[in-house]
Structure 1
Amino acid sequence: MEVVQVLCMKGGNGDTSYAQNSLLQKKVISLTKPITDEAISNLFCNNFPARLCIADLGCSSGPNTLFAVLEFVTTVDKVHKKMGHELPEIQVFLNDLPGNDFNTIFKSLPTFQKDLQKTMGAGAESCFVTGVPGSFYGRLFLGKSLHFVHSSYSLQWLSQVPRGLESNKGNIYMASSSPPSVLKAYYEQFQTDFSMFLRCRSEELLEGGSMVLTFLGRISEDPSSKECCYIWELLAVALNDMVAEGLVEEEKMDSFNIPQYTPSPAEVKCEVEKEGSFTINRLEASEVNWNAYHEEVFSRYQKIVADRMSREKTEFVNVTVSMTKRG
Structure 2
Amino acid sequence: MNTVTLKQNLIKFQSIIALAAMCIALSLLSDRFLTPENTWNVMRQISVNVIISVGMTLVILTGGIDLSVGSILALAGAVTAGMLKFGAEFTDANLYIGFTLLGALIGGTLTGTLLGWFNGFTITRFKVPPFVATLAMLTIARGLTMLWTGGFPITGLGDNMAFIGTGWLLGIPMPVWISAIIVLAAVVLTNQTMLGRHIYAIGGNETAARLSGLKIKRIKTIVYSIAGALAGIGGIIVTSRLDSAQPNAGFGFELDSIAAVVIGGTSLSGGKGTIMGTVQGALIIGILNNGLVLLNVSPFWQQVIKGFVILLAVVIEKFNSKEE
TM-score by length of 1: 0.27
Q: Which has the higher contact order (CA 8 A, sep 6+)?
A: 2
Q: Which structure has the highest strand share of the two?
A: 1
TM-score computed with the length of structure 2 as normaliser:
0.27
